[in-house]
Amino acid sequence: MEDCVFCKIRDGEIPSPKLHEDEHCYAVNDINPKAKTHILIIPNKHIHSIAKMEKGDETLIGHMVKIARDLAAERELRGYKLVFNVEKHGGQEIFHIHMHLLSD
């Protein structure tokens, strides 16, 4: 996707320190944090939103949840929220699936 900021970060066109990176996804700090810890976990595959997932994408989403759990454990977070905003009316601003890991 040519104009996708997350694809540009993935491809190194926009520099952003990655907290995690593997063949399926990467994680970065949110540039507009809504909590003390606000990390975005983003799949490498461009998927518009949860509403546009295709067969097999559920494995990728499960991997993202595992990475969120690992990042929370590394930071010794006592509790946290995992959030997907879905489509414009659900608060999604960047139309490439991403999960928010939030903790105070």
The sign of the dihedral angle between the CA atoms of 38, 81, 22, 11 is negative
Reduced 3-state DSSP string for 2-66 = CCCHHHHHHCCCCCCCCCEECCCEEEEECCCCCCCEEEEEEECCCCCCHHHCCCCHHHHHHHHHH
* Known catalytic membership, residue 98: yes
Catalytic residue among 38, 96, 98, 100: 98
Catalytic residues: 98
